[in-house]
Amino acid sequence: MNLRELEYIVALDEERNLKKAAEKVSVTPSALTQKVMQLEKDVGIALFIRSRKGFIPTEAGSKYIDAARRILQIKKDTYNELHDMSNQQSGSLNVGIFPERGADIFSSIYPKFHERYPDICINLIETSVFSQQKMIEAGSLDLGLMTLSDEQKSGDDYILIAREEILLAVPEEFSLKNHILYDPGSKFPVISITDFHCEPFALMSSFSTLRFLQEKIFRQNHIEPQILFESSRQNSILDMVSCKLCCALVSEHYVHSRHARNVRFFAMPEHPTWNVMACHKKGSYLTNAQKYLIQLFTDNLTD
């Protein structure tokens, strides 16, 4: 067993396609086939089932692949730690960010990161929380920046960057003076979402973190929402509220959005929140560059 062979096996598991896996590890498909066959001969058991769906790990193959990933992670962590000790500031980082505003935040902090680490190349991947979690588990993502609730955390390591309240957004013209609740500790005026049980709502797309929280809020308040509109972008949802078509539940981050014209924001009595967090593989070594990137995100979101 050598580390290069482990990389071949992990690539084949991730791609499930011989040609794509070979490209990933920079060998020819025939060379990769020979390597896998030789490895199976050495261990005395089949590691993959060859089918029309591609290369599917056997039970033995899954065990071998899990061990391979652990070994490769140990190698990666060790090299990262040694690079920090020797003050080597080069290499690459695969960083996941949450959709919509994640790219905007990254664009605003990257100049500072590049100033300190000019020789580190960042591969930025904008994708969902679930996708980031799977990539971190597989070892293909070094660091994930995500928004999620406590219930959505995986078994990896999380670092809290910021906590944001989920607010009720309603058209400005609504007359709500007699519905405001007394809550002197709240940053926003407080109102019960039950007062809007007959109003249509714009919701986030299914399977998003915010949709998970929206549905939880509706369940807790025994509301079956009339869904007018669904979108993967909170700014698009606020556009619908601004047009007086519906109400919505959005993050407090969007209070000052240019899409929030003619929109009023209210906290709810239960003050629901979500977490903006950095995530990395459980027990993995965080480099100085990764720590600095997390600090830049924290500074941006807590200013």
Cα 144 to Cα 128: distance, rounded to the nearest angstrom: 10
- Complete domains list, the chain, with CATH: 3-81 (1.10.10.10), 89-303 (3.40.190.290)
The pLDDT of residue 242? 95
First-last CA distance in the chain: 50
Nearest one of 273, 267, 250 to 193, comparing CA atoms: 267
The pLDDT of residue 78? 86
Nearest one of 81, 100, 103, 105 to 91, comparing CA atoms: 81
Please report the sign of the dihedral spanned by the C-alpha atoms of residue 132, residue 133, residue 138, residue 143.
Answer: positive
Q: Which two tokens stand for residue 13?
A: 């598991």
**Quick one: how many helices (H) and strands (E) in the chain?**
9, 11
Cα 55 to Cα 233: distance, rounded to the nearest angstrom: 37
The pLDDT of residue 1? 64
Beta strands (DSSP E) in 156-272 are 157-171, 200-204, 226-231, 247-251, 263-266
Around Cβ 251, how many Cβ atoms within 10 Å?
19
3-state secondary structure of 276: strand
For the chain of 303 residues, list the mean pLDDT of each consecutive stretch of 10: 86 90 90 90 91 89 91 85 75 90 92 94 93 91 93 93 96 83 90 94 93 96 95 94 96 92 95 95 91 95 82
The pTM (predicted TM-score) of the whole model is: 0.74
The pLDDT of residue 241? 96
The pLDDT of residue 158? 97
215 phi, psi to nearest 5 deg:
-65, -35
The pLDDT of residue 224? 96
Q: Which two tokens stand for residue 246?
A: 């519906």
